[in-house]
Chains A and B, each alone.
Chain A
Amino acid sequence: MIKKICRLFSILLPITVSVVCSRFDDTTGLGKPIINDIDSSLTDLSKNFMTTDCVLIDSAFSIPNSGDSIIGFHNDFLTVGNRDSVSASGYVEFPFDSTIWKRFNFPDNQEYTFTVDSIYFRFDIRLKDSILPSKINLYASTQADKYNRSSQAKQCQIATITIDSTDSNYYSGYAISSLADSVENFFVSFLQGSKSDTLSLCLFNNDSTNLVHLSKSPVIRVISRIESNTVKDTVKVTISSSHANYIAAEGNPESRSAKPISAFSSQRIAVFKVDLSQLKQITSTTDFSNVFAAGFTISPKSLSNMNFEDNRDTLYPAYLLSDCLLSTNDTALQDSSWISFKNGKIVSPITNTVSTDTINLQYPVSFFNRSSVELPSTVYLYIKLVTGRGQYWREVCWDIPKFKAILTTQE
């Protein structure tokens, strides 16, 4: 009997206690007189925190991304076309190295002829817009055009691809015959010197104001014939691209610079000139000398090229505060000082030109908690849309941000 009681007791008691434990409090907010006796600041929140929004926004504008030209560069994306006075041109590379050549199965130890009959291009569409460009022009290029399209990029057109008539999910077309001849000639030089090379192409849409986002892995198919005394084969080799990118160039940068625009395609950066003089005065003349949390709340004033499925879409803004106005060549605009929203910020369509979505741009307090001498009275807030997030052609014109800060006393 005792054994049973002990066993039951020893199991039931801990289980009961662990269940009822959840009903107990971890902390208490009672006993203020006792706490007040120890430290009176612990019982009065107003002695610990003060809020302020004393900062003014002097001006708002935007700057191009980087370099001397007003372009945005996007790796692993392929967009071609024109929209809102921004034009995008694509660039792809196809490898022609020994691995690819082996796939042609050239016969050993005998003479043969190799003839390229045709070269076929296929570019799958990644994201469909309502109206697509009817055709895209392909130009033979070099690696000199990889990061910036030179004036030579449109010199040698080799193909025009159009939306496939049976399946509207991709563009396709055949290269001009001279390209096939070039590939044959290239083969000869390859056999002689085991040379590997890359076929570089630029993509432009010269005719319309429409845009298409293509898959970053287009393919070409080389249809060839190998003939020898013993072999007569038609060989088709499909080659996937090894690199793709696009750049977006603004056609009318001056008109856009007057507005605080963040654009994903051209990587335009919105800039706000911020006056911190009143904040500096508060922190230097009151007990609340320590900035505990601070930042900006901002709403979109207008949104372009969003994808409002289920009445919502996601923006990926990144922001940066700087003591001075940075030029587009400054490394600070390119480095990791930017603070990003990892999971993006969900926004809704703007109705009646008013956005109800507020995005909180909290900034590390170490920026504000510098000495009065170190912290300038004027700083600049930069906001851009982060690359590599499938943002396609999204663009935001921001409303004037509001500054918020919570100050505390020094310990």
Chain B
Amino acid sequence: MNPMNKKYSFYPILMICLLAAVTGYSQSLLGLKYPFGIPYQSGTGLSLSMGGTGIAISNDLLGMAENPANLGAIKRTVFSLHSSLDLTNFKDGSKETNHITFNPHVLSFCFPIKKFGTIGLSVTQTNNTDAKFKLDSLFSTNGLSETAEIGLVREGSSIVWQAGWGYSINKYVLIGLAYQRMYFNPSISKIRRIKGDFSANNNDSTAIDFSTNGITGGIQVPVKNLTLGLSGQYFFENDANLYKSEDGSTIGYTMRPAPSLGFGASYQISPEWLCAADFETVLWDKCISIPDTSVPKYDVENAFGFSIGGQYIPAPNLLSPKYYEILRYRAGFRYNQLPVSTASEFGFSFGLGLPLRDGNGLFDVFFEYGQRHDSKFKDTKEEFFKIQIGINGGRKWYQSTDTNY
């Protein structure tokens, strides 16, 4: 990597590291109603800044985040790192609270193995269960002055490790398959506390320990400027353990995360313009959590969502363009139902892809504004604003010998 690229890469990485040191607590109370909390959009900066589209987009920097078949289009070694600073405003009637946190989302590496395709490795945060609710009140009785608090704290997220392979079949079809290992370890604590003349603290917590295997696969079919894509994900049923701190007991039960299926299309209108749309469904009625009276029970339903987005590059093929002429200008919109039929969220995204010199990488910075709402709780609303940054880089280590003379 030449010194210029090193410097350009250094500052984004430095910024990500410094932001990671930011402490805060983002949360969603609505996520308390869902078994895995709030789902995150999968993808790297390219797809997320286009509203979350990407099932039918073939691009190095997407990795296998949206569709493992994209690995078949990757001919160089690439990596992607993406994180976001999430600001959430929770409104309840006329009152509101604001929360902030830093969330790493995805780290991905892809390695072409010459004529045998491309291998991809990634780790992704797919859901977040964080929520902190606290109620307190001052009371005094017979000379005793106390503040009593009750609270509910839920923490944890689901992390998916993937190892995949993609292949291009004579450039007509791209196929991909990936093995997934999912870890889900949330904890829920009910807190009672008093502070004052007397003090006491009681924390009854339950922690879930769950991991399972899954597979994801996909296919992309490029037809001239149109590409169609299909992607699906399935997790296997596995045992889960619930630990209760109050009596030290462990309850075993069975879980299976919900499978999902998505369909997408992208169209390269011109070298400057790209647009895409995705439609996906999460089959929550296939999610298993065999209940015990001690195990949290969630009423969930299938959730559907769609997203559309576009990218504009002013002068992609100019020999000596100005820098702004090769920036990627992106925007998108998405709408997703949440795991209960009365709840949904939408988001508008817009941002930039900043090429690193010599075309070896791209620095993504973009923003997403959205809202989350459940019609069952009319007076409550969650607004979120995400500042998302990603760093992508790649290099071709060998020259393909596909061409026959």
Binding site for B on A (CB under 8 A): 2-3, 6-7, 9-11, 13-15, 17-18, 20-21, 23-35, 37-39, 41-43, 45, 48-49, 51, 53, 292-295, 297, 358, 360, 362, 365, 402, 404, 406, 408, 411
Contact = CB atoms under 8 A, between A and B. Distances in A.
Interface residues of B, number: 63
Given A13-B19, A29-B133, A406-B200, A35 B144 contact: no
B168 to A, nearest CB: 34
Contacts of B321: none
Given A41-B150, A48-B150, A294-B198, 11 more contacts: A14-B19, A14-B22, A17-B19, A17-B22, A20-B100, A26-B25, A31-B92, A37-B377, A39-B152, A51-B141, A365-B200
Interface string B87-129: 1001110011111100000000000000000000000000000
B96 A21 contact: no
Interface stretch (B9-17, B234-242, B284-292, B330-338): B9-17
A2 B21 CA distance: 25
A404 B144 CA distance: 7
A24 B99 CA distance: 5
B269 interface: no
B192 interface: yes
Contacts, number: 178
B139 A3 contact: no
Given A6-B8, A6-B12, A27-B151, A402 B143 contact: yes
B283 to A, nearest CB: 24
Given A17-B22, A28-B132, A31-B90, A402 B142 contact: yes
A38 B143 contact: no
7 A-B pairs with least C-beta separation: A14-B18, A10-B15, A30-B92, A293-B200, A10-B11, A31-B29, A6-B11
B177 interface: no
A137 to B, nearest CB: 49
Given A34-B32, A38-B32, A42-B190, A29 B136 contact: yes
B226 interface: no
B74 interface: no
Given A18-B21, A24-B99, A404-B144, A34 B377 contact: yes
B194 interface: yes
12 contacts: A10-B18, A11-B15, A21-B23, A21-B24, A24-B100, A30-B97, A39-B152, A43-B135, A292-B192, A297-B143, A358-B197, A406-B194
B380 A21 contact: no
Contacts of A24: 24, 87, 98-100
Interface string B8-50: 1001101100110111110101101100000000000000000
Contact of A9 (B11, B91, B377): B11
Q: Which of A6, A20, A358 has the most CB of B within 10 A?
A: A6
B23 A10 contact: no
B398 interface: no
A42 B152 contact: yes
B403 interface: no
A28 B139 contact: no
